[in-house]
Structure 1
Amino acid sequence: MANMGEMESNMSSAQEKNPSSTTALHELPPNDEARPAVFSSTVQEILFVAVATMAIAMSSLLTGSVTVLTSQVQTDLGMTTAELTWLAGSSSLACGSFLLCFGRLADLFGRKTLFLGSLIFYAVFALGAGFSQKPLQLDVLNGVMGLMSAASIPPAQGMLANLYPRPSKRKNRVFACFSAGNPLGFVFGTIFSGIATQLFNWRASFFLLAIIYVVVVAVAIWVVPTDHGAKEPLSLLALKKFDVVGTILTIAGIGMFSGALSLGSDAPSGWKTPYVLVLLILGALFIIGFVFWERWYEYPLVPMFIWRDRDFSLVITILLLGFLAFPIMTFWISLFLQELRHYSALMVAVHLLPMAIGGILVNIVAGLIMHRVSNTLLMTIGATAYTGAFLLMGLQHSSSSYWAFIFPGLLLAVVGADFQFCVANMYVMSALPDDQQSIAGGILQTVTKLCVTIGMGISTAIFDAVEAGGPTSHGYFAGDAIAPYSATLLYCAGISAISIPLCAFLRIGRQGHGGNDKARAAVGKRSSWCGRRRTKQEVIEDEPMGSKV
C-alpha cells in the first residue's frame, strides 16, 4: 500500500510537470488563455475585437460628432432650437428604443448577418447625412444611424461572449477594449468632428464617419467568424420566442418616455405642454406593462430572474447613476468651451483630448487588474472618481484655469466611466446563458442610452431654470455667466455621489480568474429553464443561488 501511495504521488508530480502526459487518462480543461480556434492568427483576433469595439462606439461617435458642430449646422441650415435638439437626441432615442429588439433578433436568427448589415447601412446613411439640405432630413438620417448602431451592438457583444465564454485574463483584456468603445467613442467623435469641421465644414464630419465605417466593413468581412450557434428557422414558434408583444411594449415605452424628455425643455409651455405630458405618461405605462408582461410570458425578451441577483441589480443601478452624469458633463463642458470661452470646434476637441488618452490608459489598466483586484473596489473607485470630477468642474469660475479644474476633472471622469463599464460589462455577460448573450448586451446598452436621454432632460431643465433667473448678485457665482453650466455639473456630482454608499453592498470579487466556476455553474443551471416558465420545484431549488434584492 505504501508503494502504491508513493506511485500515485509520483504520477501526480509528473502530471503537474507535464500535463499533456495525462491526456489519455483525463480530459483536460480548456486553455482559457489560448486564442479562440476560429481565428487563424492573433492579428485576425485583434482586428475582430477592434471591429466589435467600433460597433459599440457607433452611437457615441455620432453623438460626440454632433456636439461640436451644432453651431455651424444651425447657421447653415437655419435650424430651430427644437430641430437642433432632435439632431442631438434622435440617434440616442432610436438606439435606446430598439436595442432589446435587435438583441433578441441576433440571438434567435444569427449575429453575423445583422452585424455586417448594420455596419454597411450606417456608412451609407452617414454619407447621406453629409448631403442633407433640410433640417428634417438631417434629423431623420441621424435617427436611422442610431437605429443601425442599435442593430450592431447586441450581435457584437454576443459574438465576443461566445468566443470567450469562460473567465480568463484574455477575456478581461478583450472586454476592457470593447468597453472602451462606449465612453471613448464620444470623446473621439468630438475630436474627429472638430478637426473635420475646422478644416472643411460640418458636412465633412459625416463624410469622415462614412469613410471610417467603410474601412470597418472591409475589415469585418474578413475577420468576423461564421455563426456556429443554433439558429431558429422562420416559423410560428420562432415568432413566439421573439416576444412580439414585449418588443412593441419596450419600443413604444422607451421611445415615448425618451421623446418626452427630449421635447420637454423646448416645448411651448415646457413640461406642462399637453403632448409632452401625454408622451411621458404613456411611455411610463408601456414600460410598466412591459415588466408585468415579461414576468408572465413563456419566452420573455428580458428574463426577470436576473433582477433577483442583488449584485446584478446593484451593478446596473450604480452604472445607471454614473451614466446619468458622465455624458451630460461632456456635453455641457463642450458647450461651455464654445459659448463662454469662444473656442473653435478644433480647440474644443484639443481640450477634450485628455479624456481620450486617459480613457485608453485606464482601460489597459482595467484589463490587467480585473483578475487581481476586487471588482467591488473598482466600482467604488469609479463612483468616487466620478463625484470628484464633477464637483471639481462644477466649482470653477469662467476665468478659472483649465489645468486646475477641467483637465484633472476630465481624467477623473474617464476613470469612473471605464472602471464601472468594464466591471458591469463582464458581470452582466455572465448573468445570462450563452444563447442569450446578445440580449444581455442589449440590456446593458439600453440602460446607458436611456440614462443619456433622462440625464439630458433633467440637466437642460436645470440649465434653463438657472439661466432664466439671470446673473446672481451675491454668492459663489455672483455676476458669473457660468452659473447655469455649474448647476448642471453640480447635478452630475450629486447624482453620482448616490452610488458611493451603494457600492458598500456589492459582493463582486475578482473577474477573469479560474475561481468563477461556481458562478458559471449557477448560470448554467439557470439557463436550463431560461425561456420557459419554471416549475415550483425549480424556484425552490434556485433560492440559494446568489443573493436576492
Structure 2
Amino acid sequence: MAADKETATATATATATAGPEEEARPAVFASTVQEILFVAVATMAIAMSSLLTGAITVLTAQVQRDLGMTTAELTWLSGSSSLASWGFARTALQLDILNGVMGLMSAAAVPPAQGILGNLYPKPSRRKNRIFACFSAGNPMGFVFGSILSGVATQLVNWRASFSLLAIIYVVVVAIAMCAVPVGHTVKEPLSVQALRKFDVGGTVLTIAGIGMFSGALSLGSDAPQGWRTPYVLVLLILGALLIVGFVLWERWYAHPLVPMAIWRDRDFSLVIAILLLGFLAFPIMAFWISLCLQELRHYSPLMVAVHMLPMAIGGIVVNIIAGLVMHRVPNTLLMTIGATAYVGSFLLMGLQHLHSSYWAFIFPGLLLAVVGADFEFCVANMYVMGSLPPAQQSIAGGIFQTVTKLCVTIGMGISTAIFDAVEACGTATQGYFRGDPMEPYCAVFLYCAGIAALAIPLCAFLRIGRQGHGGERLDADFRRRQPARRKKV
C-alpha cells in the first residue's frame, strides 16, 4: 500500500514537472499554423475511407439501378472500399474492384499518419488528447462531407460526378501535405534489400485473401444458383477460414510480422480491440442499410438521404470534442461501457421501427446513439493502442487498428447481406410484429447489429483502463506503470 502511494506521488510529481514541456508545440513545427495544417492532413488520412463511404452511402440505389447490381454486389461496393475511381466503371465488377483499390490506398495512408502523431506526441497530455480527438473526428467529418458533396453532385449531374469530386479533394490534400508534414522527425531505415525483406508479404497476402474469400462466400451464398450448397461458395468459405488461421500461424512464426502476436498478451489491449471489433461488425453496416432503406422504401433522393443522415455526422464531431475534454478526467473503462451500451440502444431503435414510423422517434435518436458508441470507443481504443507500443512501432499500432476495423466492416457486410437475403426470400410476413411490412429484412439486419454489439457490454466489465492523458494521479499512475511491462513483452 505504501509502495502504491509512493509510486502515485512520484508519478504526480513527474507529471507536474514535465507538464509544460508535454503541452508545448513539438519543435519540428515552425509555427502553430503548420501544426494545425499537419493535424488536418493526418485527420484527412483517416477521413478518406469515411469520405468515400459517405459518398457511396447516398447513391447506392442509383448505382444499383444503373449497373444492374445484385444485393451482394451492392454491399461489396461499400465493403471493398472501407481516392477516387473517377467513376469510369461500366459494370458492377469493375466498380467493386476499383473501390477495393481505393480502400487499399486509403488504408495505406492511416498507419504512417498515426505513427507520426504517436511519435510527435509521445506522452499523455491534454494537447495529445485534443490532437487525437481531432484525428478521430476524421471519421464523422469525412462521412458528412462525403455524403453531402456526393448528394449535391448526384443531384446536379449523376453519381459518377461524385467520384470525380473526391479525386479533386484528394489532390488538394496531397498539395497541403507536401507543405505541412514535418520531415526528419525520426530515424529512418535506408531503402535496401534487407529493409524490403522486413515487409510481411506473406501476412499481407494471407489476410487479404482469407478475409476476401470468407466475406465473399457470406455475400454470395444466398444469391448463388444452389444457395449455400453451391460448390464455389463452400470452397471460398473453407479456403477463407483456412487462410485466416494460416495468417495467425504465420504471424507467430515470421520475424517481422504485420501484426506482432505478442501484443495480444496484454489483457486490456485484447479486450479493447475485441470491443472495438464487435462495434465495427455493426456500426458501418447499420449506416449502409439505413441509407439503402431510405432510398428504396421511402424513395428519398441522394441529397435528402444526406440530410437525414446528417445528425450522425454532426453528433460524431460533438462526441469527439467531448471525448477530448474528458478522457483525462474520467476512467476510460466507463467511456467504453457507455459506448457499447449506446450502440445496443441505437440498433434496437433501428430494428423495431416500421416503414411508416416517425423519423424523429426511431432513426434520429438511433443515429445519435450510434455515434456516441462509435466515437467513444474509437477515441479510447486509439489512445490505448498507441500507448501499447514503443515509438518505433507506432505505425504498426496504426496498422493493427486499421486491420481490425476495416476487415470487420467487410465481414459484417457479408453477414448482413446473408441475413437480408434470407429474410427477403421468405416474402412479406403475414403475421407478427412485421406483418405486411417491407421493413422486415432491413430490421433483421439492425437486430443482428444489436445482438453482436451487445456482446461487448460484458467484456467492458473486465477492462481496467484509467484516465488517459494529463491530469490524472492515481488512475493515470496505474496506466503509466503498466507501460514498461507491456513494451518488454513486445
Q: Considering the TM-score relative to the shorter chain, is it more than 0.5?
A: yes
* Residue matched to 2:57: 67
- For the pair 1:256 / 2:213, whether they are aligned, the reply is yes
8 Å Cα contact 1:63/1:186 also seen in 2: yes
What residue in structure 2 maps to residue 44 of structure 1? 34
8 Å contact kept, 2:76–2:413: no
How far apart are 1:195 and its partner, in Å? 1.9
Amino acid at match of 1:48: F
The reply to whether residue 492 of structure 1 matches residue 455 of structure 2 is no
TM superposition score normalised by structure 1: 0.81
- Decide whether the 8 Å contact of 1:129 with 1:138 is kept in 2: no
Question: Residue 475 of structure 1 corresponds to which residue in structure 2?
Answer: 432
Q: Which 5+ residue runs of structure 2 have no aligned equivalent?
A: 1-12
> Quick check: 1:172 aligned with 2:129?
yes
Deviations 1:36-95 (A, max 9, x none): 111122222122111111111212221221222223223334445554444333323xxx
The residue aligned with 2:398 is 441
Residue 430 (structure 1) aligned with residue 420 (structure 2) = no
2:6 aligns to what? none
Query: For the Cα contact (< 8 Å) 1:321–1:495, is it kept in 2?
Result: yes
Which shows bigger deviation, 60-69 or 181-190?
181-190
1:336 aligns with 2:306: no
Q: Distance in 1 between matches of 2:19 and 2:455?
A: 43
SS at 1:403's partner residue? helix
1:183–1:417 CA contact under 8 A, matched in 2 = no
Alignment deviations for residues 126-156 of structure 1 (CA, whole Å, 9 cap, x no partner): 2x52334444443332222111112111111
Mapping 1:352-363, distance limit 5 Å: 352-363=309-320
Aligned to 2:376: 419
State the Cα distance separating 1:249 from its structure 2 match.
2.6
Match of 2:107 in 1: 150
Q: How far apart, in 2, do the equivalents of 1:77 and 1:474 lie? A: 35
Matched, 1:280 2:237: yes
CA RMSD of aligned residues (A): 2.3
Q: Secondary structure at the match of 2:198?
A: helix
Distance 1:334 1:529, change over 3 A: closer
2:273 is matched with: 316
1:486 Cα deviation after fit: 1.2
When residues 523 and 244 of structure 1 are mapped into structure 2, their CA distance, relative to the original with a 3 A threshold, is: farther
SS in 1 for 2:62: helix
State whether residues 89 and 262 of structure 1, in contact with CA within 8 Å, keep that contact through their aligned partners in structure 2: no
Aligned residue in 1 for 2:46: 56
1:83–1:387 Cα change, 3 Å: closer
Alignment of structure 1 residues 50-449 onto 2, 5 Å: 50-79=40-69, 83-92=73-82, 122=83, 126=84, 128-449=85-406
Q: Give the gaps of 5 or more residues in structure 1.
A: 1-15, 20-26, 93-121, 531-549
SS at match of 2:428: coil
Alignment partners' CA distance in 2, 1:508 and 1:428: 11
Q: Distance in 1 between matches of 2:470 and 2:404?
A: 27
Structure 2 length-normalised TM: 0.90
For 1:404, what is the secondary structure of its paired residue? helix
Identity of aligned residues (%): 78
Shift in alpha-carbon separation, 1:159–1:265, aligned structure 2, 3 A: farther
- The 3 A distance-change label for structure 1 pair 70 and 214 is same
Residues 1:244 and 1:90: Cα distance change in structure 2 (over 3 Å): closer
Separation in 2 of the partners of 1:260 and 1:406?
Answer: 31
Separation in 2 of the partners of 1:133 and 1:232? 43
SS of residue matched to 1:507:
coil
The alignment covers a number of residue pairs equal to 473
Residues in 1 aligned to 2:355 and 2:278: alpha-carbon distance in whole angstroms:
27
Contact 1:64/1:186 (<8 A) preserved: yes
1:453-499 per-residue CA deviation (whole Å, 9 max, x = no partner) reads 12112222221222222222222221111111111111111111111
Query: Could you tell me which amino acid in structure 1 is paired with residue 316 of structure 2?
Result: G
Q: Distance in 1 between matches of 2:344 and 2:258?
A: 34
d(CA) in 2 for partners of 1:306 and 1:28?
A: 28
C-alpha displacement of 1:166:
0.6
- Partner in structure 1 of residue 410 of structure 2: 453
C-alpha change, 1:249 and 1:461, in structure 2 (3 Å) is closer
Cα displacement (A) at 1:269 = 2.8
State the distance in 2 between where 1:245 and 1:136 align. Answer: 26
In structure 2, do the counterparts of structure 1 residues 242 and 496 end up closer, same or farther at CA, with 3 Å as the change threshold? same
- The Cα of 1:397 is off from its aligned counterpart by 1.2
| Separation of aligned partners in 1, 2:477 and 2:198 | 29
Structure 2 partner of 1:95: none
Other-structure match for 1:34: 24
Q: Secondary structure at the match of 1:242?
A: coil
- Residues 469 and 139 (structure 1), Cα distance of their counterparts in 2 relative to 1, 3 Å cut: closer
CA distance in 1, matches of 2:261, 2:407: 19
Letter aligned with residue 47 of structure 1: L
Cα–Cα, structure 1 residues 223 and 402, in superposed 2: closer, same or farther, change >3 Å? same
Q: Does the aligned pair in 1 maintain the 2:54–2:146 contact within 8 Å?
A: yes
Alignment CA distance shift 1:257-1:527 (3 Å)? same
Cα 1:402–1:482, aligned 2, differ >3 Å: closer, same or farther? same
**2:461 pairs with one of 504, 510, 524:** 504
Larger mean Cα displacement after TM superposition, 414-423 or 324-333: 324-333
**255-264 or 353-362: bigger deviation:** 255-264
TM-fit CA distance, 1:232: 2.4
* 3-state SS in 1 of match to 2:413: helix
